[in-house]
Structure 1
Amino acid sequence: KPIDDEDLERPTDKRMFVLAAALKAGYTIDRLYELTKIDRWFLEKMRNITAYYTLLEDLDQTKLSHDILLRAKQIGFSDKQIARAVKSTELAVRKQRQESNIRPFVKQIDTVAAEWPATTNYLYLTYNGNSHDLSFPGGYTMVIGSGVYRIGSSVEFDWCAVGCLRELRRLNRKTIMVNYNPETVSTDYDMCDRLYFEEISFEVVMDIYDLENPEGVILS
């Protein structure tokens, strides 16, 4: 489908995808700035992403080296996106990534602007690190949240997770919450022992599961 400049000029929820298509089609940063008025710094970052995806599309999985795969993960591509680019499957890419020992590191979200070492239980996964910020003693129960609010789902779905966490605490069980909506009770700092602000996807949930080795998993 040809790029329509009006789709670039008009800010909508689809413009990001049109912008990516325009970059792949050869639009310059200056031209995109004229059309979108998006800061050139952000446009350059988007060009880096689309350029790397184009590189991946020129490969098949047998040509996916350790360095190329690691860089793709550091840029932010999911296993599923990499698989789509190299014409493979998410599970095959995940298997290769694990065999290459490319795994995410767990970091604490710094809520004190680096004034002193962060000690919060707010956690996230990253491939741009070389060590974990905490250890993994096991013995936790992992609760999977309902993710972002959508039309048709609201507070009652989050309350399922909250009720689960409270009951586990009453039973003296250590808890892990995986959720990524900061406007929910389940993501309050005092609701659980460890809180991962991460998307609810197969890749992310399994990466956390492999690291934490919980005693059980509950879908809220």
Structure 2
Amino acid sequence: MSPNHHLDESTLMSYAAGALPAPLSIVAGAHLELCAHCRRRLGAAEAIGATLLEQTQPSAADEARLAVMREAMLSQLGALVPADRPAEVRSLPPERPQADPDYMPAALHPYFGPSLSRLRWRWIAPGVHCIRAVGMPELIMLKIAPGKSLPLHSHGSSELTQVLRGAYNDALGLFAPGDVADLDQCVEHQPVTAPGAPCICVSALDAPLVFSGWLARKIQRFVKL
């Protein structure tokens, strides 16, 4: 599996600096676990950040704060892969998510558990099931039946959606396992799930979705999306 849709540069820079909101950071971490291309880009972002820090020539009073910032950036990188893993297995084999239908990225384990088969879905609409992360309602897992068209909507702020199983199409193209949709308030789209298997994805929202249709807006207060 080689993802075709990746994290935006601004998202990677914020992630590297530890400035990305927690729900978005979790989804970004799930994508980074699956995408070697974005891991390389993250390394470049870390190098840029380190250079900028070195060029600021801080006063002695700022040294402690800068040390904390550096540690935070390094911890973000360390969180991607446990430090005790051998170097030769640090990147996941590209075929693993496809070969293992139960696979769940490690970044999601604290919020949804270690496997897709153990998820306990809640019905929210015909063909649509949802799970909210405990203590973090902005982080949600969705399972959408094949061939299902979601209402046309835009975003109140930022949204990150990582596809785990299945696929969907929208104006931006086909999003398959490993792909991430990094969206802002300028994007309006209507995802349609592909035939075959249900589409399972994890999403982080900075603000509620903005639906175009009156019926979807009425339903929104019940499903809280």
TM-score range, shorter chain: under 0.3
Q: Which structure has the highest helix share of the two?
A: 1
Larger Rg: 1
What's the TM-score once normalised by structure 2's chain length? 0.26
The structure, 1 or 2, with the larger RCO (C-alpha pairs under 8 Å, 6+ apart) is 2
